[in-house]
Amino acid sequence: MRYKPILQAVLRTVRPSADERSRALDKVKKFLSGLNSELKRTKVKAVAVLGGSYAKDTWLSGDYDVDVFVRFDLVHKAQNLSDLLERALKKWDHVRIHGSRDYFWVRDDIKYEIVPVLDIKKPKDAENVTDFSPLHVAWVNKNGSKFKDDIRLIKKFCKSAKCYGAESYIRGFSGHVVDILTIHYKGFIPLLKAAIKWKPKVVIDHNKVYKGKALLMLNKSKIEGPMVLIDPVQPDRNAAAALCEEIYYDFVMSCRAFLKHSSPVFFKEKPLDIQGLRRLGKVVELQVAPLSGKRDIVGAKLLKAFAFIRDQVKHRGFTVISAKWASDPDKKQAVFVYVTNKVPLHPLRRQQGPPIENEKAVKEFKKKHKNVVVRHGRMYGVVKREYVEVDALVRDLLKLPEVSGRVKKVVRV
């Protein structure tokens, strides 16, 4: 198999070594023990267990973000689980993150994301989508024991292609989606070979719940994206509902490129190639300090600020050859990059007016514009541009609330 040497080499870098695994898991076990002691002290019926990629043994070397599920007995169903959990976290510095059900961060050299869930045995007992999370872990461990390293490879591949993460500002492949796809197609290479044949709307129903009729039987709101991936634990849910078309195609193109020109470079996370973008045109680079807060909300605000600038630059007549952004939430920084035409715009532009048969509107238009011409049965006025250089436009856009209200600070590079 011609891909095997490359994948084996990559695995040596992404699979945690025995020493790294031992050191990390010892710390995690100690934390879980301490948290369970505190839960017992507060007299709630709950137990803290390992979750996410650590519980599934699919975590990547160097990744010390650990999910912890605190499973509450159903006797607490009517209570605020987040408040109950916070009482047990008093001995740690913690941050409460607001969501459909509040969860918590505790940081030392490991970052713990501590999520309260109901200890459900049947789907009907769930009060929140997070209640299914331990069942997702159990499903992967039961069905994916042969594919843990393949999941690592897909995860790293998606991160490098900037396709990983279901957050609203990314809308890519979540860890759960990666798990299901890798297990369904039985490995890294089989998944890539299947992906290059995908056409929207691709439907993947691992357990054949809908017998090929998912698009007819599911609620319309659940099948709007390019992929319908039936959740094997929650069959009424599209696990890939957050996936957007742009990221979907980026993944397919990356799969095609790897299969044609396989190389370890496809597993290396790269910063934006600013120098490469400079070859395309004039580059406007902005260093951005995000607001503080929940990553998903902060990221969504960054995306809106980025898109506002891009759209306004287009609206003012500049050609946007490329527009890219990247962020590092842990370092609390981001970069916006816009590539436009190098030559300044002409100082005059045509402004579209009414059709010539609309005599009243034509008369009003001529009052406002001294220089008018007729093109294809419509009036046009010649007006002076407010901006001929993109730098001046961006400088003023940064002062508007659509940007300044969504970021802490922006520095023009």
Helix or strand holding residue 29 (H, E): helix 18-41
348-384 to CATH, choices 3.40.50, 1.10.150, 3.30.70, 1.10.1740:
3.30.70
pLDDT at 413: 58
Contact 66, 103 (CB under 8 A): no
pLDDT at 297: 84
pLDDT at 255: 97
pTM: 0.82
Mark residue 179 as left, alpha or beta (left: phi above 0; alpha: psi -120 to 50; beta: remaining).
alpha
pLDDT digits over 360-401, tens only?
888 888 888 878 878 888 888 888 889 999 999 999 999 999
* Domain boundaries defined on the chain: 15-130, 145-267, 274-344+388-412, 348-384
List, as one string, the DSSP characters of 220-232. Answer: GGGS-SSEEEB-S
Distance separating alpha carbons of residues 281 and 54, to the nearest angstrom? 44
348-384 matches 274-344+388-412 in CATH topology: yes
List, as one string, the DSSP characters of 280-297. Answer: TSEEEEEEEEPPSS-HHH
> What architecture does CATH give domain 145-267?
Orthogonal Bundle (1.10)
CATH 3.30.70.20: does it fit domain 15-130? no
CATH 3.30.70.590: does it fit domain 274-344+388-412? yes
pLDDT at 362: 84
Can you list the residues of the chain whose pLDDT is less than 70?
1, 329-331, 413
